[in-house]
Chains A and B, each alone.
Chain A
């Protein structure tokens, strides 16, 4: 019987992979479900096992399986590893994703699984922490804080009980690497968390997964069940989010696990010292924890030898939005934004010119193509008023309205604000209104303001320039007056849109009167 491989990743299923897998089974093939290879243009994808390795076909519709099985389907891609999109990657964390059956323990073992955990068990906790420090690994959730240093703090804080928490809330638009790993190689995360537990004395772990990821939750629960004996006495459980973006912020996430409203806590105390249920807690992103098995198995030098400046190792970059070769591309830091968008991504899917690229999710800056020489590096992006965040790169073509995107950033902040501080809770709504007034070409005093009784109200009209100044001022307040990065970084997309695409804000002036 022919063995074929079809992804069960949520993105593949959304493109018809389930129907394809069913049709292949009906046609008599032995179907193995895997994670996604990570290039969505060729999905739904099927790989056929042959004496000379796997031969890929994609995209393939469910009614075309006969042509795949007799080898005549026109969309034959041959050996995927030879395609430039895959050949140029450095897959450290995602080595198994798309290749193995995510829940098969024997697949995991035969592809190098548990090697890191085994080595860890022969090491002292301090040695493990030192290895993570030496790797140069920085948090992949957004802030880029050195993971080893965080672990050191937890190791050094005595407590009868310590927690390992995995942040799988992945709320950033344009990102899906966490999801692909959870669905495609859950044991890798479980192994990473078990290593963290050994390193800091962790007793129990939580994986907080957003409810928008039902496939990941299901896979993870099953994987935890199947691997429980391999990580004992450490134990794990999955907690499901409930649709709040702010619960990705680490302290809000801890409150959410505790069963409370997901509101951000003031720091200090650091979660590493007083985290979940008041106990010392390691909280790391999925990708941070999933990088650890490689580091322990292959040695920290192997990891740190790739990278750029103080950004060591690889980043699973996610190419999203209007891009031809959208998907997951894991590569050492230092690749330029232009290479990612134009060379790897192949430009826009619509075929129109790229106008803007948002890097780092809804709190990240919009960059124009003139800045495509920017290397993918935490510091380089920060210097330009942006962030790499969780590694999402969202491409827009020239039909994008940047004022609308700036407005959306404020709107999103208003929808998702946890409500704890005023600049974020109120400022975001004022931001939407200000941008609406910019769109309208400024504002006149309203009916109430011009009443003679309203002595302190401004009766004069405000022009676009004045409204823009107001918006900048508001952004300043949000930036410096917010407790967490939701309110504090929402100005990034807004100000970058203003700075790099001023024509979308000011060009309204001449015909503003005509619009009204």
Chain B
């Protein structure tokens, strides 16, 4: 798959190339999970944490490590919004779309962010610099609109804060 070669995750790690590397990676990450019941989600989180996303090429090795079918793994990866089957941009901005943020002008900020960052909600900019994603509540509902910028929470997002975020993601 071509995106295997070019992809870099936000943390800059490279996905494994070739079966041997893929197997070794999955086995290493699965090791602390063995003997744990319901190990699939923790393992998928571990993979995504390390690689930045979950390449399809790893699925057979995950299936083997946990003695599950590939279909089950595919079903789980595609069910949960957190798991990515494509690399994200170098920066990930998640904007809260839920009610309490809407009550504080969230919809306008959503539109302004898409405009300012040059990327539609749910997409990665073609230059791979930023991914803009919806999130449904961060539990910061009294001080919205809220965002998570590369994992860092930002409250009271307004035009000035958007500018600061834009500067951060330009880097």
- Spell out A's residues near B (CB within 8 Å): 10-11, 13-15, 40, 43, 170-176, 178-179, 211-214, 239-245, 256-262, 277, 318-323, 326-327, 349, 358, 362, 392, 394-397, 400, 405, 408, 412, 415-416
Q: Which residues of A contact B39 (CB under 8 A)?
A: 259
A321 touches B99 (CB 8 A): yes
In the assembled complex, B37 has its CB within 8 A of some CB on chain A: yes
Instruction: Closest A residue to B107 by CB, please name it.
Output: A404
Instruction: Closest A residue to B83 by CB, please name it.
Output: A242
A277 to B98, CA, bound (A): 33
Interface centre among B68, B140, B151 (most CB of A within 10 A): B140
A173 touches B100 (CB 8 A): yes
A242 touches B139 (CB 8 A): no
Task: Report B28-42 CB contacts with A as 1/0, cut-off 8 Å.
Answer: 000000000111111
Q: Which residues of B contact A321 (CB under 8 A)?
A: 99-100, 103-104, 141-142, 144
Q: Which residues of B contact A397 (CB under 8 A)?
A: 103
Instruction: Closest A residue to B33 by CB, please name it.
Output: A259
A327 to B99, CA, bound (A): 16
Q: A242-B82, A260-B76, A362-B99 known; A170 and B45 CB under 8 Å?
A: no
Q: A212-B137, A240-B45, A321-B100 are in contact. List 7 more A-B contacts (CB 8 A).
A: A174-B99, A260-B72, A320-B100, A321-B99, A327-B142, A394-B141, A412-B136
The 6 closest A-B pairs by CB, nearest first: A326-B142, A321-B103, A173-B98, A259-B40, A242-B80, A320-B141
Q: A214-B151, A358-B99 known; A416 and B136 CB under 8 Å?
A: yes
Instruction: Closest A residue to B96 by CB, please name it.
Output: A173
Instruction: Enumerate 24 A-B pairs (CB-CB under 8 Å) in ascending A order.
Output: A10-B139, A14-B153, A15-B155, A40-B143, A170-B139, A173-B99, A173-B100, A173-B136, A175-B141, A211-B45, A211-B82, A239-B41, A242-B44, A244-B81, A259-B39, A259-B76, A318-B142, A321-B104, A321-B144, A326-B141, A394-B100, A397-B103, A400-B103, A412-B98
A256 touches B41 (CB 8 A): yes
Q: Which residues of B contact A178 (CB under 8 A)?
A: 139
In the assembled complex, B126 has its CB within 8 A of some CB on chain A: no
A260 to B44, CA, bound (A): 12
Q: Which residues of A contact B154 (CB under 8 A)?
A: 14
A320 to B143, CA, bound (A): 8
In the assembled complex, B63 has its CB within 8 A of some CB on chain A: no
Which of A258, A261, A262, A323 is within 8 Å of B142, CB to CB? A323
Q: Shortest distance in angstroms between A266's beta carbon and chain B's nearest beta carbon?
A: 18
A30 to B75, CA, bound (A): 50
Interface residues of B in 129-167 (CB under 8 A from A): 135-144, 146, 148, 151, 153-156
A396 touches B41 (CB 8 A): no
Which of B76, B82, B101, B143 is within 8 Å of A14, CB to CB? B143
Q: Shortest distance in angstroms between B113's beta carbon and chain A's nearest beta carbon?
A: 16
A362 touches B76 (CB 8 A): no
Which of A173, A179, A244, A322 is within 8 Å of B80, CB to CB? A244
Instruction: Closest B residue to A254 by CB, please name it.
Output: B38
Q: Shortest distance in angstroms between A418's beta carbon and chain B's nearest beta carbon?
A: 8
B79 touches A257 (CB 8 A): no
Q: Shortest distance in angstroms between B132's beta carbon and chain A's nearest beta carbon?
A: 15
In the assembled complex, B102 has its CB within 8 A of some CB on chain A: yes
B103 touches A322 (CB 8 A): yes
A377 to B76, CA, bound (A): 38
Q: Shortest distance in angstroms between B94's beta carbon and chain A's nearest beta carbon?
A: 9
Q: Shortest distance in angstroms between B148's beta carbon and chain A's nearest beta carbon?
A: 8
A176 to B66, CA, bound (A): 35
